[in-house]
Structure 1
Amino acid sequence: MFDVSSDRPARQPALFLPHGGGPCFFMDDPRDIWTNMGAFLRAVPDMLPARPRAILIASGHWETKGFAFTGADEPSLIYDYYNFPAHTYALRYDVPGAPELAARAADLLAGAGLAAHVDPARGLDHGVFVPLKVAFPDAAIPVVEMSVERTLDPARAIEAGRALSPLRDEGVLIIGSGMSFHNMRGYGDPRSTAPSVAFDRWLTDAVRQPGPDRARSLAAWEEAPAARFAHPKAEHLLPLMVAAGAGDDAPGEKIYGEQVLETAISGFRFG
């Protein structure tokens, strides 16, 4: 159980993590496409000041009117990927939920004038359980999933992250789970490399700005080079906005980067 009244532990950062392609880390990978990304995710616990008391993770695979948080005591899994091997639909991640944290998060957003609610029935989609199963395989840390608002307004996502930032002082690790490049038609095409690199360089420069400047740059992400090629729809980028908003005013940092399926993919840390 997540107890908001207990003594404050070490302040946690906010992270933006790539979640890969479907259940990719639990399949044969003869070309080592996902090897380095998997190794990065496994190293996440070593990047933290202490084991988190809970994880709040925004997923690009859940869009709602306003923002929403999972409130189940024992969240189910949503296998929202298609045409993968049968064993990937039997994956388990029996992590505890944290209804108290979900309620507190919704209250923080409401206090900032943002619509938010707790969904007691919603399970965890693969943007949550796949990367967390790699990073925290013991499934012992309580998890709450956060949706992205279906308007996909980057400024509101940043504002939501800012409202949630006090949770970091309560030992909550805030994660944005998405992909810094997400154009399904562009993956695996050598013609995607140059525009994806251009967008990645812009994104990295934006992240490395101090908080107020970072927020302004990220809110205007569509002005970046190859922006709409990198993200024909922004749902996989919005979790980064949440993490960036939850970060300190200090510059963010790039903590992962490589070319995957001919495209530049990155991960970032804030605070």
Structure 2
Amino acid sequence: MTEARGAYAGLAAALADMPRQIGRTPDAILMVSAHWEEPVFTVMGNPMPPMVYDYGGFPEHTYHVHYEAPGSPALARRVQGLIEAAGLPAAFDAERGFDHGMFSPMAVMYPKAEVPTVQLSLRRGLDPAEHIALGRALAPLREENVLIVGSGLSYHNLRQFGPQAREVSKAFDDWLSDAVDAPPAQRVQRLLAWSQAPAARIAHPREEHLIPLMVAVGAADEEQGVRVYHEDAFMGGISVSSYRFGAAAGDAAA
């Protein structure tokens, strides 16, 4: 356990700092996780979501994790309505629970599990333009004190982790950080063409861990992207980053 805490210490510190950066407690969280895909965008409407242990071969204690944040059927219906109003297909799932793409970061960001949280699926096909459009449809939630979180990983090639991935992960991470830092219109165009980036298909043989970022980008269409976490030796040697859109609490632009 000590080794695991050490390996994730930088990421945990960045996640724990997010409430300070946000500067207020959200009324609710909308979580878009890499670990849920459906034929159409599907919103979790369970008022007391169970746990979904969507992994195998991990230590026994990881199958007894409980993150007991409440759901919000009202927010789920609001999300579904916004998606449908944008002309995108949407469905409601009253049974779905929290997967580890949700509870792993949320247990660090909001350890008391007091903020109602709703998950929203990716859509199969993983079309970047469609997920940016989804984010734009969800943008009004930001004015309703709903925090939109995209949970994935900026490098996700399980066959190439560790020191052998150092150069390729850095190449893609450098490109991704430049793309997110670009003016909003350029940012979207670069991200739409992400698969042409350096080492793109090595970093993401399948892009489900990148696509949640597209939703966040769409929701914060005119906001500046800021890299809030970076390591160049994560899990033994890969470069990874995460981003916030909009000014932090206390910034002059806030």
Taking structure 2 as the reference length, what is the TM-score of the superposition?
A: 0.93
- Per the TM alignment, residue 116 of structure 1 is displaced from its structure 2 partner at its CA by 0.9
Alignment check: 8 A CA contact 2:136 2:221 kept: no
Q: CA–CA distance in 1 between the matches of 2:83 and 2:200?
A: 28
Classify 1:30/1:219 alpha carbon distance in 2 versus 1 (closer, same or farther; 3 Å). closer
Classify the secondary structure of the residue corresponding to 2:112. coil
Q: 1:29 to 1:52 in 2, by over 3 A?
A: same
What amino acid is the match of 2:165? S
Deviation at 1:187, TM superposition (A): 0.9
SS of the residue corresponding to residue 222 of structure 2 reads: coil
Counterpart of 1:134 (choices 66, 86, 108) is: 108
Contact 2:153 2:209 in 1 (8 A): yes
Residue 270 (1) aligns with residue 242 (2): no
Q: What is the letter of the counterpart of residue 230 of structure 1? A: A
Match of 1:197 in 2: 170
Instruction: Look up the match of 2:131.
Output: 157
Equivalent in the alignment of 1:237? 210
How far residue 63 of structure 1 moved from its aligned partner, in angstroms, is 0.6
State yes or no: 1:178 paired with 2:135: no
1:179-229 C-alpha deviation (Å, 9 max, x unpaired): 0000001111x2211111110111011111222221111111001000000
Match of 1:69 in 2: 43
* Identical-pair percentage: 48
Residue 214 of structure 1, aligned match among 187, 197, 204: 187
**Corresponding residue number in structure 2 for 1:257:** 230
Bigger mean CA deviation after superposition, 120-129 or 210-219: 210-219
**How far did residue 90 of structure 1 move?**
1.0
Query: Counterpart in 2 of 1:166?
Result: 140
For 1:28 and 1:144, locate their aligned partners in 2 and report how far apart those are by CA, in whole Å.
31
- Give the 3-state SS of the residue equivalent to 1:97 in structure 2: coil
Distance 2:200 2:85 in 1: 32
TM-score by length of 1: 0.88
Q: Letter of the aligned partner of 1:186 in structure 2?
A: Q
**Aligned counterpart for 2:24 among listed residues 50, 55, 66:** 50
The answer for unaligned runs of 5 or more in structure 2 is 247-254
Q: What secondary structure does 1:122 align onto?
A: coil
Offset, 1:120: 0.5
Letter in 1 for 2:122: V
CA distance in 2, matches of 1:53, 1:30: 32
AA paired with 1:268? Y
1:31 deviation in Å?
7.8
Aligned with 1:50: secondary structure?
coil
Supply the AA of the counterpart residue of 1:270: F
Gaps of 5+ in 1: 1-26
Q: Structure 1: which amino acid aligns with 2:243? A: F
| Greater RCO structure (CA 8 Å; 6+ sep) | 1
Change (3 A) 1:52 1:30: closer
Q: CA deviation at 1:49?
A: 2.7
Deviations along 1:228-251, one digit per CA (max 9) or x if unpaired, are 000000000000000111114132
Q: Alignment RMSD, CA only?
A: 1.2
State yes or no: 1:97 paired with 2:71: yes
Give the letter for the 1:104 counterpart: R
CA deviation string 1:52-103 (max 9, x = no partner): 0000010000010111110001001101121111111111111100111111
Cα separation, 2, equivalents of 1:258 and 1:270: 19
Say if 2:40 and 2:89, in contact at 8 Å, map to a contact too.
yes
**1: CA distance between counterparts of 2:22 and 2:224?**
17
Which amino acid in the other structure matches residue 137 of structure 1?
P
Q: Which AA in structure 2 matches 1:264?
A: S
Q: Is the partner of 1:218 in helix, strand or coil?
A: helix
User: Which structure dedicates a bigger proportion of its chain to helix?
Assistant: 2
Provide the residue aligned with 1:112 in structure 2. 86
Query: Structure 2 counterpart of 1:100, which letter?
Result: A
